[in-house]
Amino acid sequence: MLAALSAVFTTVAIVGILLYESYGFFEHVALKDFLTDTVWTPLFENPRYGILPLVSGTLTITGVALMIAIPIGTISAIYLSEFASHKVRETVKPILELLEGVPTIVFGYFALLFITPLLQKIFPGLPTFNMLSPGIVVGIMIIPYIASVSEDAMRAVPMSMREGSYAMGATRFQTAIRVVTPAAISGIVAAYILGISRAIGETMVVAIAAGQQPNLTFNPMESAATITAYIVQVAMGDLPHGSIGYQSIFAAGLVLMLMTLTLNLIGHMTRKKFSERY
C-alpha cells in the first residue's frame, strides 16, 4: 500500500518541487515576459527571461526527429505487422528493443562526432553545433518506440477484418494500407504523440550536439539550445542555491513537464480508447 503510494508521492514531489522553485522565479520575472520575451539570457548582467528561444529550439529538433521517425517507424510497423514472416519478426523485434536500450549519451557522441561531420560534407556551411544532426539522431532513437507501439495497434486489429479484405481480392499492400492502417489509426496516432513527448524530453543528444546558445529560430541548420540543454548547462555550472539562475532551470523544467505531461495524457487516453474498441 505504502509502496504503491510511492508512485503518487513521486509525482506529487516532482510537481511540488517544480512549482515551489518556479514560484521563486516568478516572483522576480513577470509571467508575461517569460512567455513573450524573445531573448533568454538569465545568467547575463542584464538578464532577459523569454522562454520562447528554448521552446523554438526544442520544437525544431522535435520536428526534424519526427520527419525521420514517423515515416520510418510507421513503415517498419506496417512491415512487421502485415508483411514479415514469423521468423523475421522474432529476429527484428529484439534488435529494436536493444536499440531502445542504448544510452542517450552514446547517441550524443554519435550525433556530434559521426552524423555532424557527415552532414558537413553534404552541407559545407553547417556549423559544428546545429539542430539537424541531433534531430536526426533523436529521430532514429524514437523509431523503435513508434514502430513497436504502432505495431501493437495494428496487431490488435481483428483477423476477421483482414480476411474480409483479402476475400475481396486485395493484395497485402492494399489490405495493409486501406484496411489495417485506418482501423488502427488511433493507436498509431497515440504512438506518434508519445513519440513526440519523448523527443521533447530528450536531453543528452541535444545538449551535446545542438549547442548552448538560446536562439529564436526554426532553421535546423543553425545552432540553438533546447529547454533540456539549458538545464544541463546551468546544472554543470556552480550556481548558488536559491539564486534566480538556479530557479530558472525549475521554471524551464516546469514548461517541459507541462508539454510532455499534456502529450502523455492525450497519448495514453487515445491508446486506451483504441484498445477498448477491439
Partner 1 sequence: MNPQPQANTLKNLDEVRAMIKRHKLNDYIFSIIGLLCLMVGLLTLLTLFIDLILSGYPKLLSASFYTDFPSRRADSAGLLSALVGSSLVMLVTFFSAVPMGVMAAIYLEEYAPKNWFSDLIEINVSNLAAVPSIIYGLLALGLFVYILDFGQSILTAGLTLGLLILPVVIVATREAIRSIPIAIREAAYAVGATKWQVVYDHVIKYSFGGILTGVIIGMARAIGETAPIITIGALTFIAFLPPSPITTAAPFLNFEWLSSGFTVLPIQMFSWLSRPSEAFHVNAAAAGVVIILVTLLMNGFAIRMRYKMRKNIKW
Partner 2 sequence: MMTTTTPVKAEARNLSFFYNGGNHALKGVNMPLYENKITALIGPSGCGKSTFLRCFNRMHDLYPGNKYEGQIVMHPDNTNILEKSVDPIEVRMRISMVFQKPNPFPKSIYENVAYGLRVRGENNKRMLDDKVEEALKGAALWNEVKDRQQDLAFNLSGGQQQRLCIARALATDPEIMLFDEPTSALDPIATANIEELMSELKNKLTILVVTHNMQQAARVSDYTAYMYLGELMEYGDTDTIFTRPTRKETEDYITGKFG
Residues 61-100 vs partner 1: string with x where CB under 8 A? Answer: ----------xx--xx-xxx--xx-----x-x-xxxxxx-
What is the footprint of partner 2 within residues 49-88 (CB under 8 A)? 85-86
CB atoms within 10 A of CB 7: 9
**Judged by CB under 8 A, which stretch of 9-17, 23-31, 162-170, 199-207 contacts partner 2?**
162-170
Q: Cell digits for 216?
A: 529564436
Inter-residue contact 233 to 207 (CB < 8 Å): yes
Can residue 113 be called a binding residue for partner 2 (CB under 8 A)? no
Q: Shortest approach of partner 1 to residue 124 CB, angstroms?
A: 21
Can residue 173 be called a binding residue for partner 1 (CB under 8 A)? yes
**Could you give the CA distance from residue 211 to residue 88 in angstroms, rounded to a whole number?**
40
Q: Measured from the CB atom, is 219 or 272 closer to partner 1?
A: 272
- 27-41: b (≥16 Cβ within 10 Å) or e: eebeeeebeebebbe
**Could you give the CA distance from residue 55 to residue 255 in angstroms, rounded to a whole number?**
9
Using CB under 8 A, which of 23, 118, 178, 236 touches partner 2? 178
41 binds, among partner 2, partner 1, none (CB under 5 to 8 A by kind): none
Using CB under 8 A, which of 68, 154, 176, 183 touches partner 2? 183
Phi, psi of 40 (to 5 degrees): -125, 100
